[in-house]
Amino acid sequence: MEPDRILKVAIAQIEPVWLDRNRTIEKIVSIVESANEPDLIVFGEAILPGYPFWLSHTNGSSFNDSVQKQWYAHYCLNAVSIENGDLNSICDVAKQKSVAIYLGIVERPADRGGQSLYCSLVYINKNGEIKSVHRKLQPTYEERLCWAPGDGHGLRVHQQGNFTLGGLNCWENWMPLSRAALYAQGENVHVAVWPGSDHNTSDITRFIAKESRSYVISASGLLNRAHIPRNIPNYDSIVEKLPETLANGGSCIAAPDGSWLVSPVTGEEKLIIATLELPKIYEERQNFDPAGHYSRPDITQLSINSERQSIIEKK
């Protein structure tokens, strides 16, 4: 098949050095350096520096609790400040290897004061340029105890050859209008990132593929209690309350007809490789195209506010 009709993709299903930004960055850079020339590498939700698993197991909603405050402070200090250059080494290796990257981060953005955290999905192109930072629109349940709600600024797609990429964080993928916002921009490869559990990815990955007639890449992380670093605050009090396995992976890829290209992979760190074929997308769009011939914009339309939200309006 002609080179412009294929896209070689990789899912990096890895375990972060939990809540350690610098060491996790080193691991991410090493994985990109060692990858066998894919066009795109996808990492799971909040993989840098890690998902806030403690909230569900340590009474995270306890108000004004000193231990919860210490964990939040540690999380903030290991979160990603893009403005300070925290992603520079990852951008550099993307340029060096000429590979695009979708990366889930916990962001501490300066444009919102620098003390609140956002679950963000960053797209870095083959030139090592950050082209979008999508802040999760609605943190899910206990996530609201440490992540702030995002905005529509990152609801955008990116061209990679003849493929049009878009992405959402975790349960955002259940939000019909968020999916539709990407479909309407021509998305035909949908990236869904997750903290890591096959119970999340096994059904919705194939559903979105069938709905959108697109390839769907679900990228998840891993975390085992035994691998939690001992330098986190109150190590003993958090570890004794956590299950042995906090995230088992479940990364997978569905084809545009909803069939498995790669069925869910669990329990192991792995670079999952697959090749996407452009004609398969057009074959499935023949009888259903959700933003094209099978839409009725004269009856229903979607309005998107794509402005980056801030409490300051500069004039």
Torsion sign (Cα): 32, 37, 42, 44: negative
Round the CA-based radius of gyration of the chain to a whole number and report it: 19
What phi, psi does 32 have (nearest 5°)?
Answer: -65, -40
Burial of 145 (0-12, 13-18, 19+ CB in 10 A): middle
Name the residue type at position 23: R
Catalytic residue among 91, 119, 146, 170: 170
Catalytic residue among 97, 136, 210, 280: 136
The answer for residues whose C-beta is within 8 angstroms of residue 17's C-beta and 6 or more apart is: 23, 24, 27, 49, 229
Neighbours of 268 (CB within 10 A): 10
Tell me, letter by letter, the H, E, C secondary structure of 284-312: HHCCCCCCCCCCCCCCCCCCCCCCCCCCC
- Cα gap 73→89, rounded to integer Å: 24
Name the residue type at position 189: V
Q: Which of 263, 35, 54, 233 is nearest to 146 (CA)?
A: 54
Catalytic, 119? Answer no
217 DSSP β-pair partners: 191, 253
- Cα gap 243→277, rounded to integer Å: 40
First to last CA, the chain: 52
Tell the residue number behind the tokens 């890829």, with chain if given.
Answer: 253
Catalytic, 252? Answer no
Catalytic, 45? Answer yes
Catalytic residue among 45, 143, 172, 187: 45
| Catalytic site positions | 45, 136, 170
